[in-house]
Amino acid sequence: MSADFSRPGLVSKQLGDELIQQADAFNALKESELPAIDALYDSATIEKENKEWWPTHCEALRRARADLLRGEYRDDLVYFCQDGPFYGLTQQAERERHWWALIAQPNVTMCWPIVMFWGEFVHFEWHCLDDRSGETLAKGTVCWVRRGHRGGCYFKSEQLTFYRDVYASQDLLSLLIAD
């Protein structure tokens, strides 16, 4: 992959800037209809695209780019988590804003020590580290079903654990780059 997000400090600002540009470009490729998996758009192609996309997703989260993160989802997203299930893009929007603000807050670095790919499935584990103390603030295990660049994410299942706060302060929410 083009970047290693397993620990803090492994991705340069220049590479991060390039990943943000790629994230925007990948979101623009999403089609209105979920593309079929067939001979023209097979599982190997989708897996390759998901591996290209992965570092852009990580950088968007680290930079609190809610606009790019929301753009990764299909309009008919199904999202299973302890506060859900959520259907579509509106049911989870307010709750997810708080999660994004908490995991991308200043002096905290989100890391992904494990990521695995299989066709349209992307499974990963993440944790957020306090840059000063090294304390884990939050962690989770996630499975995305993402039909490559043309399809985007249509199913997400996530287990999240927040050790400090469950809802973000207004100050942290104001740091999100909105869509």
Whether the predicted pLDDT of 166 surpasses 70: no
Whether the predicted pLDDT of 179 surpasses 60: no
Phi, psi of 157 (to 5 degrees): -125, 130
The answer to whether 146 touches 128, Cβ cutoff 8 Å, is: no
Compute the distance between CA of residue 86 and CA of residue 62 in angstroms, rounded to an integer.
24
Query: What type of residue sits at position 13?
Result: K
Select the more confidently predicted residue: 124 or 100: 124
Select the more confidently predicted residue: 55 or 82: 55
Q: pLDDT-based confidence at 109, cuts 50/70/90?
A: very high
pLDDT score recorded for residue 129? 93
The answer to whether 173 touches 97, Cβ cutoff 8 Å, is: yes
Scan for tokens 């066709």, then name that residue: 119
- Of 35-49, 87-101, 103-117, least confident by mean pLDDT is 87-101
Q: How crowded is the C-beta side of 151, counted as CA atoms within 13 Å?
A: 24
Q: What is the rounded average pLDDT for all residues in the chain?
A: 92
Quote the strand ranges of the chain, DSSP E.
73-80, 86-87, 108-118, 121-130, 136-146, 153-162
Q: pLDDT-based confidence at 104, cuts 50/70/90?
A: confident
CA-based nearest residue to 173, from 117, 77, 96, 107: 96
pLDDT score recorded for residue 10? 93
Q: Write the pLDDT tens digit of every residue in 18-71.
A: 999 999 999 999 999 999 999 999 999 999 999 999 999 999 999 999 999 999
pLDDT score recorded for residue 165? 67
Structural domains of the chain sorted by starting position, each given as residue range(s) with its CATH number in brackets: 13-173 (3.10.450.50)
